[in-house]
Chain A
Amino acid sequence: MSIPIIYVILRSLFAGAERWLRLLDQRIPELLWNTLSLTAAVTVFTVVVGVALAWIVSRTDIPGRKAWQWLLALPLVIPPYIGAATYISALGRSGPVRELWQGSALLVNLFGDYPLNLISFWGVFFVLSLFTFPYVYLVAGASLRKMNRNYEEAARSLGLNAWQIFWKVTLPFLRPAMGAGAVLVSLYVLSDFGAVTMLRYVTFTAAIYFQRAGFDTASASVLSLVLMLLTLAVLGIESLTGKKSKYYQTAGTYREPATVNLGRWKLPALFFVGCVFFFSVLLPLGILAYWGSLGVRMGALDQRFFAFAFNSLKVSSFAALLCMLSAMPVIYLKSRYPSAISSMIDRLAYAGYALPGVIVALGFIFVFNNHLPVLYRTFYMIALAFVVRFLPQAMQAGEASLSLISPRIDEAARSLGCPPWQVMFKVILPNMLPGALAGGALVFVSSLKELPVSLMLRPPGFDTLAVRVYFEAQEAAYHLAAPAALLLIFVSLIPLRYLLSKY
């Protein structure tokens, strides 16, 4: 599993001093600035917005609180590259909004030329923030709901008002959740490929892709190594701060926290929540629906479309199946017979998850072209890359279900006359199956939406829906991109519904 990664590292180390120097001199500082400034800005902004939203919808008497709680998680189902495409189609240089603006003498005279330029740092910042804030929102929300009311009451009894309690009790309590959310967002921004390329903003992932597309593979490997180091740095920061800021809930009965009466702040809060929802869900979906209906009327749902959908289905379900099949023994061994090997496999699986897709794809090309020509440029190669990227999703879901099966159950079956293999089939599998299937569903959806790996590894004639969305949107053929995009979003809704049933 780690072989493709090791390959990338080796290739980069043998790229030659001259290439390294040239890249270090010109390319890398610029890319570092582009990537880091974007990551930092998006992370800070999403943490602020995510925490604020989480607090408003879980702690205040905002109207429609229950509905907001799940509505605000919806942006997660919109892949940022689709979000970027919808915004370009509406607000971009050739979009209708600019036409309207430039056509109106009043606006041009008052405010000058059309001011929005999506193809810019702020455009990328805006789009990525819109579709990644739910990471923070969900993590912070879960934490807030777990927080025991006693702390806030203790603070109140010590004479703090609601505002002070938020700053001195609630916020510090949320620090671990904010940290975790921030790491998720930063890892996402580091690995995002679709949205940044769509908005012509060059971060490491985009640069790696373009270098690779120009077949300067050595440079692509060098940049990949730097990006891997960045990813590790983020994970390192997380594990450093994670240790220090662990809080323990006191034992005892849990009481639901009190709700804060918003009073005259009710309308501004509602406006804020509504705005976020509008820009991150309603507007993109509305634009997609417009283009989608236009596309359908122009015959976008043709034979080609269904062939692409079939390709997506084929590769994603195969990846889901592989993930389930490989996750089950791994987590079974890890939980029942823990050893150094099983924990190493576990860690490697997470490494794949944190790594940007472009790097995984690059490694796969090296390995399969040179050593596994049978599978090279077949859809199996894409499915295997999906396994590297998404196995932890299947493992987590499977582990959740296995953790409900106490080892005593295995022993009970043994004492009732079942040898170990029978225990596996008669007891463990039936109980793990729902979890494994749920994990498979998650992998399925992630694979369906996955862009960079599909793009870089697809065999001839094997475009997936995600690849089509990307290409059609690049060509500004939004009416062709929208039906596929809507289908992807719709399918992604299914597992989200179950995710949210807890919150």
Chain B
Amino acid sequence: MSAIELIDVTKTYAGTAAPAVQNLNLCLEKGAIISLLGPSGCGKSTTLRLIAGFERAEKGTIVLDGKIVSDENTWIPPEKRGVGMVFQDYALFPHLDVFNNIGFGYRGKDLKERVREVIALVNLQGYEKRYPGELSGGQQQRVALARALARRPVVVLLDEPFSNLDADLRGLMRREVSRIIKAAGATAVLVTHDQKDALAISDRIVVINGGVVEQVGTPREIYQFPETSFVATFVGQANILDGFLDGNGHVVTAIGLFPCRHTHGLPPGSPVKISVRPDSLELAKEGEIKGVIAETVYGGDTVEAVLELRDNQFRPCRLLVHLHPEEKIKVGEKASFKVLPDFVAVIKR
């Protein structure tokens, strides 16, 4: 049984014409960490708020743990849904200390034991009497997570959980949040616009754009085999090229032949678009793709470069490539590249 099911959910905010979420269908399994990834305003936060019950969908059904919580005839208010929520600004109660924040919603008789247990889980022993104002950002997040987990919710929802943290704390908290959720055996849905968060923490990623789902998959699937040009360019960088399948595992494009392992079983001759990650173009003397380096941006562990070339009809064309930082190629020099097949994917649209 899935933890969360959304069927044909549509939500339009009052005063706006375009729906924030349109005919959304999602099925999220138990025990996993799932990210909703997309640019700001794509509808991912709305989806989260629909699940939590802070917004009501005008169309569609939401099922939590096998129970319909929202459809045309049913409405279960947020306090009865058994959903834990971690807010972007944590929303800790300023008038309560850590212990009482975490125990706020817990109704069981073993309140003290449960709170202690959760505090231990998030490694906050010794901070029970502190007030939210006296905690660092990372600690506040632990409290927020512990508070959401204390009631053993069906699902924990995390809204942009890392956006308020410094870069170094971010890495640590990604690992911590993932550990805590796994240790608690909870199902978690987190919303983020940062692909690194999503790739690092998730069992599955749902890429959303313009209120519709673009692709659902594991982090590796999403990165290696983007199904749409939006996913290809939003998650990592990509060159999008037109071509057709030649039947031998290659895609013929105007600038050359690209090996491709992920063809969705399309018949030879089908016109397709492919996504070519900059990493899949490797500098090689015997490479087929030849051009002139037009720009370089030094980035420390890699050098981003733009290669200018002409296609078979002599139209100008630009490709984004990554160079090893050891390579000392200057702007204006000629260079040739070969294609590694792992990061070339046929995209559906």
Contacts and interface: CB of A to CB of B under 8 A. Distances in A.
A415 B85 contact: yes
Interface string B96-117: 0000000011010000000000
A408 interface: yes
Contact of B151 (A405, A414, A416, A419): A416
Interface residues of B, number: 26
Given A417-B107, A419-B77, A412 B87 contact: yes
A413 interface: yes
B104 A430 contact: no
B87 A405 contact: no
Contact of B89 (A408, A416, A419): A408
Given A427-B93, A430-B95, A411 B87 contact: yes
B85 A431 contact: no
A476 interface: no
Contact of B52 (A411, A413, A418): A411
B54 interface: yes
Contact of A431 (B95, B104, B147, B148): B95
A419 B105 CA distance: 11
A291 B78 CA distance: 65
Contacts of B85: 411-412, 415
A437 to B, nearest CB: 14
Interface in B28-75: 52-54
B251 interface: no
A413 B53 CA distance: 12
A415 B95 contact: no
B93 A415 contact: no
B94 interface: yes
B26 to A, nearest CB: 19
A409 B54 CA distance: 12
B77 A417 contact: no
Contacts of A416: 79, 84, 104-105, 147-148, 151
B94 A431 contact: yes
B95 A411 contact: no
Nearest to A426: B104
B89 A415 contact: no
B83 interface: yes
A249 interface: no
A408 B77 contact: no
B329 interface: no
Contacts of B104: 413, 416, 426
Contacts of B77: 414, 419
A414 B54 CA distance: 9
Nearest to B157: A415
A250 interface: no
Given A406-B89, A408-B87, A408-B89, A415 B52 contact: yes
A340 interface: no
A110 interface: no
Nearest to A427: B93
If over half of B's interface residues share one DSSP class (helix, strand or loop), that class is named, otherwise mixed; here it is: loop
Contacts of A404: 94
B7 to A, nearest CB: 22
B200 interface: no
A415 B94 contact: no
B135 interface: no
Contacts of B53: 414-415
Contacts of B91: 406, 408-409, 411-412
B93 A419 contact: no
A417 B85 CA distance: 11
Nearest to A434: B95
Given A430-B95, A431-B95, A414 B89 contact: no
Given A411-B78, A411-B85, A415-B85, A405 B94 contact: yes
A197 B91 CA distance: 54
Contact of A415 (B83, B88, B92): B83
B94 A417 contact: no
A434 to B, nearest CB: 10
Nearest to A432: B95
A406 B93 CA distance: 10
Contact of B79 (A405, A414, A430): A414
B3 to A, nearest CB: 16
Contacts of B78: 411, 414-415
* Candidate in B53, B95, B148 with the most chain A CB atoms within 10 angstroms: B95
Nearest to A405: B94
A405 B94 CA distance: 8
A417 B151 contact: yes
A398 to B, nearest CB: 16
A418 B81 CA distance: 11
A417 B79 contact: yes
B87 A418 contact: no
Contacts of A414: 53-54, 77-79
A411 B93 CA distance: 11
Interface in B140-158: 147-148, 151, 157
A405 B132 CA distance: 13
B297 to A, nearest CB: 26
B54 A418 contact: no
Contacts of A415: 52-53, 78-79, 81, 83-85, 105, 148, 157
Nearest to A414: B78
Interface in A169-222: none
Interface of A: 404-406, 408-409, 411-419, 426-427, 430-431
25 contacts: A404-B94, A405-B94, A409-B93, A411-B87, A412-B87, A412-B147, A413-B105, A414-B54, A414-B78, A414-B79, A415-B52, A415-B53, A415-B79, A415-B81, A415-B105, A415-B148, A415-B157, A416-B84, A416-B104, A417-B79, A417-B80, A417-B151, A418-B105, A427-B93, A431-B93
Interface of B: 52-54, 77-81, 83-85, 87-89, 91-95, 104-105, 107, 147-148, 151, 157
Given A406-B91, A412-B147, A431-B93, 14 more contacts: A411-B78, A411-B91, A412-B93, A414-B77, A414-B78, A415-B78, A415-B157, A416-B84, A416-B151, A417-B80, A417-B105, A418-B79, A418-B105, A427-B95
Q: 5 closest pairs, A vs B, by CB? A: A416-B105, A408-B91, A412-B91, A415-B85, A414-B78
